[in-house]
Amino acid sequence: MPDSQPQPARSPDGDAAAPPPGEGALVLCGARLADGRVVDVRLSGGRIEAVGTAGSLAPGPRVDLNGYVLLPAPADPHAHLDTALTADVDGPVPHGVEDVQRRTTEAALLQLGHGATAVRTHVRVGDVAGLRALEGVLAARRSLRGLTELSAVAVPRLLTGAAGADGLAMLRDAVGMGATVIGGCPDLDPDPTGYAETVLALAAEHGCAVDLHTDGAEPARLARLAAMAGGLRPGVAVGPCGALARLPRDQAARAGQQLAAAGVTVVCLPQGDCGVSGGARGGGAWCAPVRLLRAAGVRVAAGSGALRDAANPVGRGDPLEAAYLLASHGELAPEQAYEAVSGRARAVMGLPEVRVEAGFPAELLAVRGHAVAGVLSLGYSRLVVHHARVVARTSAVREYGDVQATVALDLPRQSPRGGDPS
């Protein structure tokens, strides 16, 4: 059927394909927004072209989102894709370019299926591996263009003293290759302050963002970092800062005020530590005290951390799970928790804001459910839109035996596949 003719709406669980970029508009029909409105949304040219009441937009290629909540797509501001999916590897993890490219690609697609249309991944540079891991990540970034956006954080081990000279040279090479963010872990360098100064100076020289690992166990060190980072553009992020949750409340609050005054964003990891900053193990808190930090004025985003590697062999890389954990632990309300993995995450990554309104980027996630809280609780079926294209679908089907009580109580049921609900 030609595009000029009205076409039947397709469920996101079906097999309708979105038009390629630049080839016409796509209408998302009957979607429920976070505020409860049911709307049609027309996408074109990578952006949201129009939002209207259900049934009001002109016909064309359509996807039926009846029963789905439509939200700005999440993003992951803290991942480690070069080591992802290695928890079951026997012996040393291979770090060849093709090995890293394969792992990064598979992990990025897993996260895309969850809804993350942009990922910031931290990559080790220097030492024996040199720049091979970064080369593999950048190759994956090129191959995934049009599906998802990857940005690479160059993470050197040492930067000060004689031992750090090679790390600094490697870091400069990494920026030249295409790393857009400079990171690392000052706490592991013999001179943490010198490490941070070097990173901040190099970032200012090249106009790069900064994203540093720290557990936050030493408030004085965190205060020095905040003082040095104040006003740096395009911005500074630190995380996971899990040790702040183990400090006396007044000390943690004071550290939060210093970070807020410097404009430093904290990226917490509700799904578990990534292992780089030496976070707590054996029952200690690894997630930052989000509610306390927000009360101090800190911008807080949430990332995934490790994805099935040695640091977290069961990591999922699912932004909705990160938001669920923040909400279920009482750190944030469900809507605020989702904002931590969407709007806040995009902001710290330097990405444009997304709203389900005309003119905004068409970076969207539709999840079966009726409200944000339900989406975080049982959001299995998902449809992901990147640059106005449907780029991923996940369909979850739950079936029950024909129990008489379900009929007598008039409870909602999912009918057998291809069968009659009766």
Express each pLDDT in 167-192 by its tens digit.
999 999 999 999 999 999 999 999 99
CA atoms within 13 A on the CB side of 146: 7
Condensed to tens digits (0 to 9), the pLDDT of residues 56-95 reads 997 779 999 999 999 999 999 999 999 999 999 988 999 9
In single-letter form, the type of residue at position 65 comes to: L
391 to 34, 132, 366: CA distances (angstroms): 22, 29, 12
Query: Which residues does 368 contact at the CB level (< 8 Å), separation at least 6?
Result: 67, 68, 69, 379, 380, 381, 382, 396
What's the CA gap between 376 and 337, in Å, rounded?
Answer: 9
Residue 369's pLDDT band (boundaries 50, 70, 90)?
very high
Q: What pLDDT does 157 receive?
A: 93
Rg (CA), the chain: 23
**Amino acid 264: pLDDT:** 97
Residue 268 pLDDT grade (very low, low, confident, very high; cuts 50, 70, 90): very high
Q: Over range 7-14, report the average pLDDT.
A: 43
Per-residue pLDDT at 137 exceeds 60: yes
pLDDT in tens, 279-321: 544 444 579 999 999 999 999 999 999 999 999 999 999 999 9
| pLDDT tens digits along 240-264 | 999 999 999 999 999 999 999 999 9
End-to-end CA distance of the chain, in Å?
A: 33
Structure tokens at 204: 């200012």
pTM for the full predicted model? 0.90
According to the model, what pLDDT value does residue 400 have? 81
Mean residue pLDDT across the chain: 89
Q: Is the pLDDT of residue 276 over 70?
A: yes
For residue 104, the tally of other CB atoms under 10 A from its CB is 31
